[in-house]
Amino acid sequence: MIWFTEYQTPNTGLTVKVKEAKTVKSKYQEILILDTYEYGKMLVLDGAVQTTERDEFIYHEMLAHPALIKHPNPERVLVIGGGDGGTIREVLKHPSVKEAHLCEIDEEVIKISKEYLPTISCELNNPKVQVFVEDGNKFLDERKSYYDVILLDLSDPVGPAEALFKREFYTKVKNALRENGIMAAQTESPFLQELYFKTAVNEIKQVFKYFGTYLAFIPTYPAGMWSFTLASDDVDILKYEESEFDKIKDLKTKYFCDKIYTSLFSIPKFVSDLIK
Binding-site annotation, residues for S-methyl-5'-thioadenosine: 29, 104, 135-136, 160
Say if residue 162 is exposed, middle or buried (CB neighbours under 10 Å; 0-12, 13-18, 19+): middle
Minimum CB distance to ligand SAM, residue 245 (Å)? 27
Nearer to ligand SAM by Cβ, of 113 and 232: the residue is 113
Q: Report the C-alpha gap between 276 and 270 in whole angstroms.
A: 10
Nearer to ligand SAM by Cβ, of 8 and 51: the residue is 51
* Footprint of ligand SAM (CB under 6 A): 45, 50-51, 59, 80-84, 103-106, 109, 135-137, 153-155, 160-161, 164, 186
Minimum CB distance to ligand SAM, residue 36 (Å)? 16
**Binding site feature residues:** 29, 60, 84, 104, 135-136, 160
Minimum CB distance to ligand SAM, residue 234 (Å)? 26
Cβ-closest position to ligand SAM = 81
Nearer to ligand SAM by Cβ, of 226 and 235: the residue is 226
**Binding site feature residues for spermidine:** 60, 84
Full DSSP string of 37-59: TTTEEEEEETTEEEEETTTHHHH
Q: Which residues pair with 3 in a beta bridge?
A: 17
Decide: 174 and 144 in contact? Cβ < 8 Å.
no
Q: What angle do CA 100, 105, 110 make, to 5 degrees?
A: 65
Nearer to ligand SAM by Cβ, of 53 and 104: the residue is 104
Minimum CB distance to ligand SAM, residue 149 (Å)? 17
Q: Report the C-alpha gap between 255 and 243 in whole angstroms.
A: 20
Amino acid at the residue 175: N
Pairing of strands 177-186, 225-232: antiparallel
Q: Across the beta sheet with 48-52, what order do the strands follow?
A: 2-9, 12-25, 30-36, 40-45, 48-52
Nearer to ligand SAM by Cβ, of 136 and 212: the residue is 136
Catalytic residues, by residue number, are: 153
Amino acid at the residue 116: Y
Per DSSP, the three-state class of 148 is strand
Minimum CB distance to ligand SAM, residue 202 (Å)? 19
Q: Which residues pair with 35 in a beta bridge?
A: 20, 41
